[in-house]
Structure formats: C-alpha cells, structure tokens
Amino acid sequence: MNMILHGISNADIKNEDTLEKPLHTKDGQLMQFDRVIANPPFSQNYKKADMTFKERFSHFMPEGGKKGDYMFVQHMIASLKSSGKMGVVMPHGVLFRGSEEGKFREHLIKELGILEAVIGLPSGLFYGTGIPASLLIINKAKKDDKILFVNADREYNEGKNQNHLRAEDIEKINFVYQNVLELPNYSKLVSIKELEKEDFNLNIRRYVDNTPPSEPHDVKAHLRGGIPKVEWNSVLTASYQLTPNDIFQSKDENYYKFTEIIQAKQNIREVLESSKGFKNTDVMVLHVISTWYDEYQSLVDVDSSDIATLYVEGYALIEKAFTKTTHEVIDRFKIRGIFASWWDANKFTIKSIKNSGYDYNLLSDSFLSSSDFVALLDKEALTLHVKYMELLKKLKSAKEENDKVVTRDKMAEFKEKIFINIADAKPLVVEQFKNDALQIAQRYLSEKKQAIIANIENLWDKYQVSLAEIEDERDTATKEIKAFLTELGYQ
C-alpha cells in the first residue's frame, strides 16, 4: 500500500527473515542495488545456524543480547553495487558499544573506508520507542578519509505522542550533507586519524556538541545592580536593527540600566513590539517574500516548467531574493526552510495544476474560511458559504466514516454552487499560495522576536533586583516588624 500511495506500481515485495533467509536473489546470488534504504527493527536477536549467504558478514554479533543491528548493516552493504549508497536508521548504542560492535566499526571505518556520514536525530520520532536514533550513510564510492557528523537532535516539532521532523529540519540536514558543510554546534568533518585516537567511537556529541552554553552571571551586577554591557547579544538583536539605546541607558562604563519607560518586566515586550526595528524589519521581510513569490509564480505558469525544475528553482530564487537584504534577519537555512515548508504543503496542488490547470477544488478550507475570500462573495453565495462552514464544523466533529462521506458530498455540492459566479479560480489559488508563504515567514519572524524578548527579559530576571536592594528591603521590613511588635508591648 505504501508503494502504491507513492506511485510505485512495480515494487517487488517479499516476506521473510532478512538475516536468515534473504529473498532478493538472482541466479543463486544476492541482488545488488544502487540505493538501499532501511529502518530495521532495533536491538534484535538472530540465529546463525540456519542462516543462508553467510558470506555477507565479516563480523557476527552476539546471537543473544539484542545486538543484531550491525547484522542488518552488513546485509545492506552486501546488497549494494560497487558504486552504491545506503542509509540506515540505527539506535545510538551501536555508535559507541565495544566488543564485536567496536571491531566492526573499526573495520567499517578503517578497512572498508565507506562510512560517509553519521547523523543524529531527535528522540521520539518512531512509534514504539522514545530513544533518539541516528542515520548511518554508507557510500561504496567514497574517496576521502573524513566522515561528516551532523547533530540534528535539537531541531524538530514536538508532538503529543510522537515528535516530527519538519520540512525545514529535513531540508537543513539534506543541504548540509549534500554540500558537506561544517556548521558550529551542528556539523563537523572528522578524519579517520582522529577517530582512531577515539577508538573509533562514533558518539556524535563527542565531535559535535550542541549543548547550550552555560548562563553567564556577573557577581558585581548581582551585588550592586546594573546590566553588564558584555551580555548584550549584538548578533541576535542586530537582526531586528535594535541597539542597546532602545532598552537601556548607560549606568557607567561597564553597565547599563533599563530606561525609565521600563518599570516592570512586561514593559520590555511592549517597548520591543512597538519599536521601529520590529515593525520595519517585518515589513521588509514580508515584502521580500511577496516579491519572491510573484517571480516564482511566473515560473509555475511556464508550460515547460516541470515539477523537478520548480522544486530546484524555488530554493534558488528565494535565496537570491534574500541576498538583496541589508542584514540577516533569518539565516540561510530558515530562508530555505520557508520554501521547504511551502513546498511540503503545496507540492500536490502544484502537480495538479501542471496536469489539469487551476480549479476551485484546489482551494483549502482554511482559505475558504478567510475574511479575504468571504469579502468576494455576493449575497446568495454568502448564504451558501454559511451552510458550507456549518458542514465543515460537522465534518471535524464526525466520528463515523459514513457520516464523514455524506458530509463531504454535501460540502462538494455547496462549494460548486458558491463558485458558479466566480469565473476564474486562478487568482484565488495564487493568493492562497502566497498567503501560505507569508504565514511561514511570519512564523519564523515571530520565533526570532520571541527569542529577542526572552533574552532581554532574562537580563531583567537576573540583574534588575540587586542583593543590596534585597537587603535594604529586608532591613526596612525588619524595622517595620519591630516597630509593630513594640506597639503591641513586645520587646
């Protein structure tokens, strides 16, 4: 079913124990492939006695103890052509455990020299286990003596029962891997010599530690008050054209104090959200996104633009659009993430347009619920729209599948009637596309602004009330209590 849903009608699916009796064979030999991808069961036992094609394995892991992970890896390597590449999901334990697993890692890295990348993933991505996983990328055509380590375990969307990699997270991992980039606290190239010094330990944090830096504390500021000037985050705040003068006034050579307008912590958010830096930067970025999308839409409307071209050019155009900005509001990966998220949400709509053109059925219920769409409707269509929205609410609360089918059919009838007097659906579909891109950009901008606000509020929490002020308040309260007790006749 998974193959059918992905348009693969000629899949050759076989059911057996892959380690004991692999079935993808030809002329008595294992079949070999250009690409092999797998998410094998973690920590499985296996039996060597009845195993066929034992030549697949240079190292046999213990049959008990649930350490069969590298057996799957060796099977996949044996199933690769000499120029083939594979990706396999593994638990973190295989990266650093010793004994036979350690010997195989040394063999894989030093003797075979085909391990290309180790990618750390967030925890809770897979059903049935909350442990973090890793990706091993193996390339039989690998030429160099370095391995790319990527630590992506902090970038994901947290779900109630399961975490998810967002389109932007996947794009960043892929872009860093494809372009072999080294990024601070995210990725690093490590030589085989360096790995040998570490006994071929592949623990990702050993090479790419993304632990947040410890919180700085200025003892003098805690004692006497003031905000240390060295703790002003110029990189973060400059992205929104903010300077210390927007929040602070100078106390002395080394310390700031909050401006008089900031009398309480909540004033920080009020001042920042009303600042020209916040407002002007948002307007600038959203203008860039709007201009980019207009250019991209022109490409969508070119008959010769196929899906692959639209995917590749989308990234190129959005990066080009942001090269004209004077300062970096969102980094390169967030910029690419805007298109990645947009494409993930709209790729099937784009495919439909390329196949059969623009149609009102391409409009989402979210767009049909918007005030911009409602404003286009005449009186008769508005009446139909109210009924359509009632059905939509009913659909969301329906539990029985039959009720859902009946409700969808009624919604389709009302939707057709709503669009009787709307001759061309294309402008609406284009507006929906652009709105999607703007909303994604606004989400990134909001995250950046919240980070700036949190950074300044943290300085308030740390330093606004000094030890001297606390002691003064304590002394004042003590005097008041003593006076009150004296009045009551207590000495």
What average pLDDT does range 228-244 have in this prediction? Answer: 93
| Alpha-carbon gap, residue 299 to 309, rounded angstroms | 9
Strand partners, 190: 147
* Residue that the structure tokens 């030093």 belong to: 110
What is the mean pLDDT of the segment spanning 451-478?
Answer: 87
**251 closest CA partner among 228, 222, 230:** 228
Q: What angle do CA 110, 113, 118 make, to 5 degrees?
A: 100
CA atoms within 13 A on the CB side of 75: 24
Helices (H), 369-418: 371-374, 379-397, 401-418
Considering only CA atoms, give the Rg of the chain: 30
Helix (H/G/I), strand (E/B), else coil: 381: helix
Look at residue 458 and tell me whether its pLDDT is greater than 80: yes
Question: 309-323 pLDDT, tens per residue?
Answer: 999 999 999 999 998
Which tokens go with 451? Answer: 């980070």
- Which residues, at least 6 apart from 489, have a Cβ–Cβ distance to it below 8 Å? none
3-state SS record for 252-276:
CCCEEEECCCCCCHHHHHHHHHCCH
Domains of the chain listed by start with CATH number: 2-206 (3.40.50.150), 217-376+422-491 (no CATH)
pLDDT recorded at residue 475: 81
Task: Please say if the pLDDT value at position 327 is more than 70.
Answer: no
Q: Is the pLDDT of residue 452 over 90?
A: yes
Mean pLDDT of 30-46: 93
Which pLDDT score, from 0 to 100, does residue 8 have?
A: 85
Sequence-distant (≥ 6) Cβ neighbours of residue 62 within 8 angstroms: 99, 100
Give the tens place of pLDDT for each residue, 85-126: 999 999 999 999 999 999 999 999 999 999 999 999 999 998
Two tokens, residue 317 = 């155009």
CA-based nearest residue to 149, from 175, 176, 167, 171: 176
Position 149 scores a pLDDT of 98
Burial grade of 47 (CB within 10 A; 0-12, 13-18, 19 or more): exposed
Q: Give CA 144 to chain center in angstroms.
A: 29
- State the residue for tokens 């973060």: 236
Mean pLDDT score across all residues of the chain: 93
In terms of Cβ atoms closer than 10 Å to its own Cβ (0-12, 13-18, 19+), residue 276 is: exposed
Q: What 3 state SS string does 122-164 have? A: CCCCCCCCCCCEEEEEEECCCCCCEEEEEECCCCCECCCCCCE
Spatial CA neighbour of 238 closest among 162, 326, 306: 326
Classified as helix, coil or strand, 168 is helix
Closest CA to 292 of 263, 269, 315: 315
**The predicted structure's pLDDT at residue 271:** 96
**Residue 303 class from Cβ within 10 Å (0-12 exposed, 13-18 middle, 19+ buried)?**
exposed
Would you place residue 4 in the very low, low, confident or very high pLDDT band (cuts 50, 70, 90)? confident
| pTM as predicted | 0.88
Token digits for 173?
């991992």
Reading the block at residue 356, the tokens are 């059969």
Question: What is the spatial distance between Cα 336 and Cα 349, in angstroms, rounded to a whole number?
Answer: 20
pLDDT, position 18: 93
266-275 per-position pLDDT tens digit: 999 999 999 9
% the chain with pLDDT above 90: 83
Which is it for the CA torsion 484, 486, 490, 491, positive or negative? positive
Residue 491: what pLDDT?
Answer: 64
Backbone dihedral region for residue 180 (phi beyond 0: left; psi -120 to 50: alpha; all else: beta): left
Only one residue has tokens 């623990």, namely 203
Pairing of strands 80-91, 115-120: unpaired
- The whole-number pLDDT of residue 99 equals 93
Rounded-to-integer distance, Cα 255 and Cα 337, Å:
38
Residue 148 has pLDDT above 90, yes or no: yes
- What's the average model confidence in pLDDT over 148-165? 93
DSSP states along 409-443:
HHHHHHHHHHTTT----HHHHHHHHHHHHHHHHHH
Cα separation, 80 vs 112, whole angstroms: 13
**Among 104-113, 234-243, 253-262, 311-320, the least confident range:** 234-243
